[in-house]
């Protein structure tokens, strides 16, 4: 039994599943499912569809150069049955799949290595640009953070004053001023 790969998405196409399309020039195309066959008939490019292996390899999401891929190459030369050769081949196949899985894990880990740092940097930038939308911190929280940074009481007061000035300036949005609610007793919120 030969497990062929889908011409469109490169998934394994098992016997009895999918479609084999034979063109007038006797070229055969094996598809794993109707989705791949329909996309092929519509002349879609597999490298532009994100769910195909061709896209993933072109975008650098999967390994393209690997020596273990050569073991999966198609061999059309018939070999006389030999029990020892079959046992050795099965062991080698298991080992090759182990090695490939390990390399893929390492590749994925290396590809996603700097992702956390990049996410933190973008989050910091977002907080810097849109900090006025965040809920205000209580005075006790500000003091605790300042104490952790190692500032003394005078520096904390100075910091609070500068933050109050910044808060007043951030209330102006363009030419409009934020409306203030007037309480029933005459106070302002």
Contact 181, 168 (CB under 8 A): no
Contact of 145 with 155, CB cutoff 8 Å: no
Beta strands in the chain (DSSP E): 4-5, 12-13, 19-22, 28-31, 172-173, 176-177
> What is the tens place of the pLDDT at every residue in 67-94?
777 777 777 888 899 999 999 989 988 9
Domain count, the chain: 2
Query: Which domain, by its residues, includes 37?
Result: 1-62
| CATH number for the domain harbouring residue 2 | 2.30.170.20
List of residues 6+ apart from 142 with CB closer than 8 A: 156, 159, 160, 163
117 falls within a domain? no
Distance of CA 91 to the CA centre of its chain: 34
**Which pLDDT tens digit goes with each residue over 51-60?**
999 999 999 8
Residue 80 lies in a domain: no
Please give the mean pLDDT across all residues of the chain.
82
Asked whether residue 108 is domain-assigned, the answer is: no
Q: What is the pLDDT of residues 99-117, one digit of tens each?
A: 889 988 998 888 888 888 8
Residue 148 lies in a domain: yes
User: How far separated are the first and last CA of the chain, in Å rounded?
Assistant: 79
Q: Please check whether residue 185 lies inside any domain of the structure.
A: no
Domain final position from 19, 36, 62: 62
Angle formed by the axes of helices 153-170 and 139-149, nearest 10°: 130
Q: What percent of the chain has pLDDT over 90?
A: 40
């Amino acid at each position: 039994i030969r497990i062929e790969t889908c011409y469109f998405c490169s998934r394994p196409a098992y016997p009895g599943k999918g479609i084999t399309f034979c063109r007038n020039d006797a070229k055969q195309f094996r598809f794993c499912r109707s989705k791949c066959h329909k996309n092929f008939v519509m002349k879609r490019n597999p490298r532009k569809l994100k769910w195909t292996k061709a896209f993933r390899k072109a975008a650098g999401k999967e390994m393209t150069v690997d020596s273990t891929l050569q073991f999966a190459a198609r061999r059309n030369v018939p070999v006389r049955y030999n029990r020892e050769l079959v046992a050795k081949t099965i062991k080698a196949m298991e080992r090759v799949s182990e090695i490939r899985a390990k390399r893929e894990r390492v590749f994925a880990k290396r590809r996603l290595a700097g992702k956390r740092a990049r996410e933190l940097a973008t989050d910091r930038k977002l907080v810097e640009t849109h900090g006025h939308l965040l809920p205000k911190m209580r005075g006790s929280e500000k003091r605790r953070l300042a104490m952790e940074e190692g500032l003394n009481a005078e520096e904390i007061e100075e910091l609070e004053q500068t933050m109050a000035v910044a808060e007043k300036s951030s209330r102006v949005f363009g030419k409009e001023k934020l409306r203030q609610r007037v309480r029933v007793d005459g106070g302002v919120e």
